[in-house]
Chains A and B, each alone.
Chain A
Amino acid sequence: MADIKVTIDGKQVEVPEGSTVLQAAHKIGIDIPTLCHLDLHDIKMVNKAASCRICVVEVEGRRNLAPACATPVFDGMVVRTNTIRVLNARRIVLELLLSDHPKDCLVCSKSGDCELQDMAERFGLRKVRFDGSQSTYRKDYSKTIIRDMDKCIMCRRCETMCNDVQTVGALSGINRGFNAVVAPAFEVNLEDSVCTHCGQCVAVCPVGALSEENLTWSVVEALADPEKVVVVQTAPAVRAALGEEFGMQPGSLVTGKMVAALRRLGFDYVFDTDFAADLTIMEEGTELLDRIKRFLDGDKTVKLPILTSCCPGWVNFIESQFQDLLDVPSSAKSPQQMFGSIAKSYYAEKLGIPREKMVVVSVMPCLAKKYESSREEFTVDGNPDVDVSISTRELAHLIKKANIDFNNLEDEEFDMPLGESTGAAVIFGATGGVIEAATRTAYELFTGKELDKVDFEQLRGMDGVRVATVKMGDLDLNIGIAHGLGNARALLEEVKSGNPRNLHAIEIMACPGGCVGGGGQPYHHGNMEIIKKRAEAIYREDAGKPIRKSHENPAIKELYETYLGHPMSEKAHALLHTSYTPKDRV
C-alpha cells in the first residue's frame, strides 16, 4: 500500500495507508496518551471504541479535535498533539473521568497497576474542578471476578474482549447517559450469565472495575492453623510470570525462588501442578489412543476428535454454548483437580491423615480455576479437593505481605513425590503444549518406538487456530489447536459441520497465548510481547528438564504401580475423571 505523508508536531513521517494518527505519531517517538485504546493485534483484538477522548489531537482543517487512536491519516495531514487547545481538552476530559470515579485508590485492587491513576500522574493533576454526583451500581461478587462498576470508565475493553475475542457475549453496554455501564444481560450476576470466568476482562480492565476475588487471607489463615497440613501446587505458567511482579524482565523463570518463597510462607509441602499434568497426559493420552484404536477398528460410536479438558474456562464455555458436543471432550479432570484428588487420597493416606486435615492451595495463572475448585463434583462429602485457588498476582501479594525479599532468594527444589515432573508437563502453560505433551507420550505408546526428537515445533506458535499432522507409524494424527475462545468457537463449528479436516485431537485454551496469558497473570497492559516471552520461558524450562515425556516420570510410574493400577483403571476413573453437564445461562 502507498505510503502517506503526515506532519505531526512539525515532524514529517510516512506511514502506510490506513494507519491511524496514533500509529504515525508512535513511529516518530511522539507518545500520545491513550486510555480506552488497546491494540492486541497478535490476537486480532483492537479496541476501537475511541470513547475516552484522552488521545484527541488537532488536525488542520478539521472543526473539532480528532481521536488519534481512531482517525486514519490522509496525505498532507497536519497534526498537532500538544497545543494549549489539546492540553486543555485532555485535562478536562481527565477531570471529568476522575469526577465520576471513586477516590479510594489507596485500598483499590488496582492500586499501583491502574492506568487511570498513571494518567493522572502523567498530567500532574492536582485538583479536579468538578464535583457532583457519581454513578453508582450494585457490586457483583462471583467466585472469581468482582465487578465494581462504580470504577468503570466505559473504555469497553472488557466488552470487546468478551464479545469479539472470546465470543462469550457475557458483557455489553447497558443504560444510557451518566448511568451507562457494562454489565451482563438483564444485569444478572456474572455467575448467572454465560461468563466462562476466563478472566480476560480482568486482564484488560485499565482500572479497578474488574478484579479477582482475592483469597490470600484464606491462605494466611490456613497456614496459621496448627491443625492443618497445608499443601501447595503451582501451575506451570506461574513460574514464567511471577518474576514480573518483582520487577524482573518478562520471560524470567523463577521456579526455584518461587519454591523457596512458598516454603518461607510456611506451606508444609511445596508441590507442583506439573506432576498432575504428567498424570493428565497418562489419562488423556490413553483415552485418545483408546478412541483412535477403536475408531480404526471400525467402532462407529467413537467420538472424534477428542478435545482436551484441562482448561476450566473452556469447559465452562462448552457447557453453556456447545451443549450438543458435551460427549466430545476428554473426561480427564484438569491437572489442578487431579492434583487435589491425589493429594487428598494417595498422599493423605501416605501421611496417615484424614483428608479434612489437609488444605490444598493452588497457585494458578487463571481465575476460572477458582470457579473450577468450587464445583460440587470436585468435593468429597463437602470437602473440596482443592480448598483455595489463588492467582499469580495474589501469590505475589502474599509474598510481599510476608516480608520475603523474593529477588534475593536462593533457588530451592519442589518436595517429592508430588513435585516430580517432566518437560512435557511444563509446556502445559503455553498454547499447543498440552497436545505436544500428549503427542510425545501417545507416539511412544502407539508405535512402541522411542521418539528421535521430542520437540514438535509444528504445534507451537501464536496463530489463533493451528492444524498440524503428526506421523505415528501408519497413522497420520491430525491435530487442531485453538487458543482464545473465539478461535475455539471457529474450530468447534468446523467439527460440528462434519469435521472436514478429519481432526483426531484438539487442544483448546480459553486464554490468548494459553495459560501464560491467563486472567490471573501479572497485568500485561496491552503488551503482547510479554506473553510471548513467557511462552519462550516455558519452552526453555522444558528443554532444560532431564525427563521430557510424561510416561517417564518416575513418581507417576510409582503412583500407578502402588495405587491406581493403570491409566483409565476403575480407581483412576473414580479419582481422575469427570463428566460435563449443560448449563443454561443468559
Chain B
Amino acid sequence: MGKIKSLDELRQLREQYKSKVDIREKGDQIEKMIQVRVAMATCGIASGARDVMNTLVDEVTNRRLDNVVISQTGCMGYCYAEPTIEVTIPGKDPVVFGEVNKERAVEILEKYIINGELLDGIIPVTHKTVDD
C-alpha cells in the first residue's frame, strides 16, 4: 500500500473497503433491515440453497441494497418445497417462499423485497420465529 495523498483518495479508499464490514454494519442495524433467510439445512443445500444464497448476496451487493441482509437459517420444515427463503420486512410478518431457484430469487428480490409486491409461491406460515 502506498501513501494516501489526499482526502479524496482517502474517501475512495473508504468506499472500496466498505464491503469488508457491511455485513457487520447491517447486523448492527438489524432492526431496520429487510432480513432474508435462506434455509441451509441438508435438504436445502441438496436442492440448491447455496446457489440461491450466492445469487442473493451478489445481487444485493451489486445493487447496493444497504437495507437488505442475507443470512442463513436451519431447516424451516418445508422439505417438500426446498430451497426455501424467509423474508422479513420491518413491521411486517415474515413471508416464506418455496422452491426458489436463482431466477426466482431475483424475481423475489425485485418484486417483494424492493417494491413490496406480493407474488406466487408463498408458503403459509406454520411456525413462529424466535423473535416472536
A and B touch in the complex (CB under 8 A): no
Please give the residue numbers on chain B whose beta carbons come within 8 Å of chain A beta carbons, in ascending order.
none
Please give the residue numbers on chain A whose beta carbons come within 8 Å of chain B beta carbons, in ascending order.
none
